[in-house]
């Protein structure tokens, strides 16, 4: 009887977790209810496609139920507006949280050079977008049109070239809108099959207040989440200010001065939290600092050591920066870093543990430790194969991969961009050559340009040496403008349509770029990846080609 009473007491005494409710209201840049708005809830760092989307009411209200504690991202989107993301770090004590949001309108180019359209007729593919026709109605009024024959009772489209950031957004003509799954919206117009449909974009129909203070996020009853958003939002603004867009296009670069200022700002937030005794927020701020790790700029070993001392290896906050925490362990004190990395294997977040094992796998591959290589590969593939952060590592380090040193290069034949013909694995027999999968949008690819140009100048033609660059850009037209500027790339070029879904990319097991592959006269692969990057490239080529020209 006493045991039964004690059991009943436990049931009463132990709090039963009930779901958390996040509710509030979304308004547009003018303070009104948006034309259409959605909330998108997902685990922090998860693919956007994994989020659960819900349509807000016509007056902009929303209510989201979250069944368990954890770290989430609540994204809010609306027609004609920029999507925002709000971090939600939720504990059992959290129950009802109110969040009100006023969004920032899309920044439209007042005088776009050209506007292109994509739609359901080309599966919204950027590479095959078509240009709209500019029409000057009056001296002050200019609009754009596009015509096509309808193949059904509706036509869905988006426009490119009208909004900052280069992404596709909704236009001004629509019977209704649909969410595109990536933060923007598609216009849908009703049509009649076989009849001409005309799409019109008229910028004068977009009238939203230009308010630099937007977006505004008001978190009413959770001080911690309010501080988290304020720091996150401040960091996002500083990140944008630190990025430099090269004249004429190309990958973004970073201002070292502003990057250092960003680190100092986050570090100040951390130190203020330590002084006030707010351990929880100080750990969050330390992880935010870790998220800014950049291998191309001096992050500072003192910052790395501070982070490792501030945040326990078992902290769930590391789910927000699983890739960066691994880099942090290598950037600071060696002994501390090795000890910290071991502790991360006990982190409750699967992504964090996966990244640690992925690092160990790459080390085993470099050391040519076949036994450890296969053990770690099997562990990652079987236990962590669904973790996005390590999928690339698993593909790249498959001990049974088709593309690896010592094996024959996969068969290929590509048309050269200069119109001089084709090149293939058969036509290159008897020569040394390097295949390089790359793209103009790929920052790491562009950073390899100095080393590749220097090596090519030294070794071109020696024992037949040549480079074949295979572009994985969205459109072939993006290559020539890039080569017309600083990096001429005076070797062979071809374009691979389809990016990572291209047949040749799959045949070469391309999971990320750049992916360089050095092939010998007999068609066998001699070197790959890191052995053909940066300063190591020249040393590797000298090994097979001898002294330079």
DSSP result, 401-459:
-SSSTTSBPPP-EEE-TTSS-EEETTTTTTS-EEEEEE-TT-HHHHHTHHHHHHHHHHH
Q: Could you tell me if 41 and 125 lie in one domain?
A: no
The predicted-structure confidence for 455-505, as pLDDT tens digits, reads as follows 999 999 999 999 999 999 888 888 988 898 888 999 999 999 888 888 999
Q: Has residue 194 been placed in a domain?
A: yes
Q: Could you tell me if 77 and 31 lie in one domain?
A: yes
Pair type for strands 185-190 and 70-78 = unpaired
What CATH number does residue 507 fall under?
A: 3.40.30.10
Q: Could you tell me if 233 and 193 lie in one domain?
A: no
Domain boundary among 43, 72, 104: 104
Provide the CA 497 distance to its chain's centre, in angstroms. Answer: 20
Residue 5 is predicted with a pLDDT of 41
Which tokens is 504 given? 């040749």
Q: Has residue 267 been placed in a domain?
A: yes
Q: Has residue 388 been placed in a domain?
A: no
Q: Could you tell me if 120 and 151 lie in one domain?
A: yes
Q: Of 535, 536, 517, whose CA–CA distance to 527 is shortest?
A: 517
Q: Could you tell me if 82 and 121 lie in one domain?
A: no
Residue 161 is predicted with a pLDDT of 86
Task: Report how many domains make up the chain.
Answer: 4
Q: Has residue 254 been placed in a domain?
A: yes
Residue 3 is predicted with a pLDDT of 42
Residue 6 is predicted with a pLDDT of 37
Q: Could you tell me if 100 and 135 lie in one domain?
A: no
Q: Has residue 381 been placed in a domain?
A: no
Q: Could you tell me if 227 and 287 lie in one domain?
A: yes
Farthest CA pair distance, the chain = 94
Residue 1 is predicted with a pLDDT of 44
Residue 256 in contact with residue 297, Cβ under 8 Å?
yes
Q: Has residue 532 been placed in a domain?
A: yes
Which tokens is 32 given? 């009104």
Give the pTM. Answer: 0.77
Residue 63, domain extent:
20-104
What CATH number does residue 60 fall under?
A: 2.60.40.10
Beta bridge partners of 477: none
Q: Has residue 363 been placed in a domain?
A: no
Q: Has residue 402 been placed in a domain?
A: no
DSSP H/E element including 327: helix 322-331
Environment class of 77 (CB within 10 Å of its CB; exposed 0-12, middle 13-18, buried 19+):
buried
Burial 411-434 (b: 16+ CB within 10 A, else e): ebebeebeeeeebebeebeeebbb
Q: Could you tell me if 68 and 29 lie in one domain?
A: yes
Which parts of the chain register pLDDT below 70? 1-18, 127, 137-141, 165-166, 245-252, 547-549
Domain boundary among 78, 104, 130: 104
Domain boundary among 104, 139, 160: 104
């Amino acid at each position: 009887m006493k045991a039964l009473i004690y059991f009943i007491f436990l049931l009463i005494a132990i709090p039963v977790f009930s779901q958390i409710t996040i509710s509030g209201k979304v308004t547009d840049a003018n303070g009104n209810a948006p034309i259409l708005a959605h909330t998108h809830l997902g685990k922090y760092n998860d693919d956007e496609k994994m989020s659960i989307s819900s349509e807000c009411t016509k007056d902009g209200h929303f209510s989201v139920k979250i069944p368990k504690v954890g770290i989430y991202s609540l994204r809010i989107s609306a027609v004609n507006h920029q999507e925002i993301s709000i971090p939600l770090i939720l504990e059992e004590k959290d129950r009802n949280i109110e969040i009100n949001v006023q969004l920032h309108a899309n920044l439209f180019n007042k005088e776009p050079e050209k506007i292109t359209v994509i739609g359901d007729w080309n599966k919204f593919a950027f590479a095959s977008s078509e240009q709209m026709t500019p029409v000057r109605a009056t001296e002050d009024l200019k609009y754009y049109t596009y015509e096509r024959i309808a193949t059904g009772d509706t036509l869905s489209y988006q426009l490119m070239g009208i909004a900052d950031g280069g992404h596709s957004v909704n236009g001004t003509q629509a019977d209704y809108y649909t969410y595109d799954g990536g933060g923007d919206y598609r216009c849908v117009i009703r049509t009649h099959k076989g009849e001409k449909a005309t799409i019109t974009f008229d910028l004068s129909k977009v009238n939203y207040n230009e308010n630099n203070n937007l977006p505004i996020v008001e978190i009413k009853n959770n001080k911690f989440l309010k501080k988290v958003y304020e720091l996150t939002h401040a960091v996002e603004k500083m990140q944008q200010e630190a990025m430099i867009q090269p004249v004429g296009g190309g990958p973004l670069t970073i201002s070292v001065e502003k990057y250092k200022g960003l680190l100092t700002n986050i570090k100040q937030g951390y130190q203020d939290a330590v002084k006030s005794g707010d351990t929880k927020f100080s750990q969050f701020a330390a992880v935010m600092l870790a998220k800014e790790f950049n291998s191309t700029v001096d992050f500072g070993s003192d910052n790395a050591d501070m982070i490792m001392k501030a945040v326990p290896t078992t902290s769930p906050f590391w789910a927000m920066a699983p890739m960066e925490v691994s880099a942090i362990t290598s950037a600071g004190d060696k002994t501390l870093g090795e000890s910290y990395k071991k502790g991360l294997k006990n982190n409750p977040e699967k992504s964090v543990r996966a990244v640690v094992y992925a690092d160990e796998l790459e080390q085993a591959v470099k050391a040519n430790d076949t036994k450890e290589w296969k053990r770690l590969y099997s562990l990652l593939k079987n236990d962590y194969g669904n973790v996005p952060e390590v999928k690339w590592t698993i593909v790249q380090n498959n001990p049974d991969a088709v593309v690896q040193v010592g094996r024959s290069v996969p068969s290929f034949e590509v048309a050269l961009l200069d119109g001089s013909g084709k090149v293939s694995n058969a036509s290159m027999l008897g020569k040394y050559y390097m295949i390089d999968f790359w793209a103009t949008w790929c920052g790491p690819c562009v950073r390899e340009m100095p080393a590749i140009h220097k090596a090519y100048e030294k070794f071109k033609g020696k024992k037949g040496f040549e480079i074949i660059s295979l572009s994985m850009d969205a459109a072939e037209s993006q290559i020539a403008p890039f080569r017309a500027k600083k990096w001429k790339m005076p070797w062979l070029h071809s374009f691979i349509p389809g990016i990572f879904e291209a047949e040749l990319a799959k045949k070469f097991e391309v999971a990320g770029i750049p992916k360089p592959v050095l092939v010998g006269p007999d068609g066998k692969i001699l070197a790959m990846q890191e052995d053909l990057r940066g300063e190591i490239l020249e040393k590797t080529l000298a090994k097979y080609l001898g002294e330079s020209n």
